[in-house]
Amino acid sequence: MTAWENMLLAAVLLTGFAAVGSSRLATGIRALGAQGVLVGVLPLVHSVAGWNPRMVGFGAVVATTKGVLFPWLLSRAIRASQTRRETEPVVGYGASLALAAVLLPAAFWLADRAPLAVSQAGALMAPTAFTLMGMGLFLMVARRTAVSQVLGYLMLENGIHTFGLTVFTHLPLLVELGVLMDAFVAVFAMGIAIDHINREFDHMDTTRLTSLKG
């Protein structure tokens, strides 16, 4: 399973770079949707104990929620706001890709020094998780539109989910469902906030909210 797992992790990283390097919000949403499906399939490929109905069912729920439901909600938000691009990012797209590229060797360096069960996790699992978390945090601080920041949050959560596989072969069901429910509630709440921001200010630039006066 190692070859398939490494291919899957490489694809996860490519979706992260696609989201970081694109100015089109629709492209970022599609990239995160694909990443959500891959992250949902990852525990099935990673499992050394074989598949069971609970694992397959949860993988399907994760893939459907992160790969279909969340992208659909975010696509509705950008259609309603008629926002197509991130026009004025805090960090440009060329510099963003360069910084994301730097995150990858830094993630390998960190994973090499972290006390992880490498025999269970595999060589790419922890570096991929750290890279996704770094990319997610970067998107949250380096982008101005609310949708891009939600994408960053989802990528951060995908990284945390992937990192969990380096510690446990499969997480307890209640923990898995709790993390997924937290992500769902967060995206739902952010969708409502995006809708209210767009109605009141006719834009989704969160940096301009600092100009509000009490």
> DSSP readout, 139-181?
HHHH--BHHHHHHHHHHHHHHHHHHHHHH-SS--HHHHHHHHH
- pLDDT digits 0-9 by tens, 116-157: 654 445 678 889 999 999 999 999 888 888 788 888 888 998
- pLDDT digits 0-9 by tens, 34-70: 999 998 888 888 765 566 677 777 778 888 888 888 8
- pLDDT digits 0-9 by tens, 67-107: 888 888 888 878 877 777 877 788 888 899 999 999 999 99
Q: Which of 1-5, 12-16, 65-69, 88-92 has the lowest mean pLDDT?
A: 1-5
Position 76 scores a pLDDT of: 82
The pTM of the full predicted model, rounded to 2 decimals, is 0.80
